[in-house]
Amino acid sequence: MSESGKPTVAPGALILALLVAGLLCRLGYVFLTPTFYAPDEQSHYNYVKHLAEKRSLPVLASKLGDASNEWEYSQPPGYYALLAPVYAAGRAARNQSWCDCSARPRWGFGC
């Protein structure tokens, strides 16, 4: 309590509350946004798909907003190169008989 009798909030508690609120907002966005409904998710996916399937760097050939969803091709390839083996493993698992492709998970993993 302060001298005026009003309760005070410790700065550390306020910062922690803001961090928790921000984390909850981000988790809500991640888990409540359907697959490929984020503004540029399809273009990031296409970058990884190109690296995994063609094993070469993509070349930007379309304009921003084009239906081909290639506008992320101008980004550096490091992050996408790390995800290419994950994409390839998912594609390999999809071709296995133990993978039930009739049950599609909400977040796009699996078949």
pLDDT, block means (10 residues), the chain with 111 residues:
71 94 95 86 90 91 75 90 93 70 50 46
Tell me how far apart the alpha carbons of residues 79 and 72 are, in angstroms, rounded to a whole number.
12
Verify that 22 and 41 share a domain, yes or no. no
Tell me how far apart the alpha carbons of residues 81 and 76 are, in angstroms, rounded to a whole number.
9
Verify that 50 and 2 share a domain, yes or no. no
Provide the CB-side half-sphere exposure for 39 (13 A, CA). 4
Instruction: Identify the pLDDT of residue 10.
Output: 86
Verify that 6 and 50 share a domain, yes or no. no
pTM of the predicted model, to two decimals?
0.63
Instruction: Identify the pLDDT of residue 7.
Output: 72
Verify that 41 and 5 share a domain, yes or no. no
* 101 CB neighbour count, 10 Å cutoff: 10
Instruction: Identify the pLDDT of residue 103.
Output: 52
Can you give the residue range of the structural domain that contains 14? 1-32
Residues 96, 90: contact at Cβ < 8 Å? no
Instruction: Identify the pLDDT of residue 98.
Output: 54
